Amino acid sequence: VVAFYAPWCGHCQHYAPSFRQFGAALAASGDALRAGAVSCTAEKKACSEFGVRSYPTVKAF
């Protein structure tokens, strides 16, 4: 599960603590599912390739 975000985005800043808790819970569960985040400011090409048009965007792979 990947959260695509922009550091300047207020909605992203509000959402980040919940997503971090979600990621920690996944890691602690021993499940193979993992969570990560991609800054669309730093990784513009990746965000474009995955069709990210608004922030935050969460996709499961």
State the SS3 of the chain: CEEEECCCCHHHHHHHHHHHHHHHHHHHHCCCCCCEEEECCCCHHHHHHCCCCCCCEEECC
Q: Which of 9, 26, 37, 58 does the annotation list as catalytic?
A: 9
> pTM of the prediction?
0.91
Pick the CATH number of 2-59 from 3.40.640.10, 3.40.1160.10, 3.40.1440.10, 3.40.30.10: 3.40.30.10
- Does 40 qualify as catalytic in the annotation? no
Residues contacting 58, CB < 8 A, separation 6+: 1, 2, 3, 4, 19
| pLDDT tens, residue order, the chain (61 aa) | 999 999 999 999 999 999 999 999 999 999 899 999 999 999 999 999 999 999 999 999 9
- Which strands form 57-59's sheet, in the order they lie side by side? 36-39, 2-5, 57-59
Domain-wise residue ranges, the chain: 2-59
Place of tokens 């959260």: 3
Q: Which of 2, 3, 6, 12 does the annotation list as catalytic?
A: 12
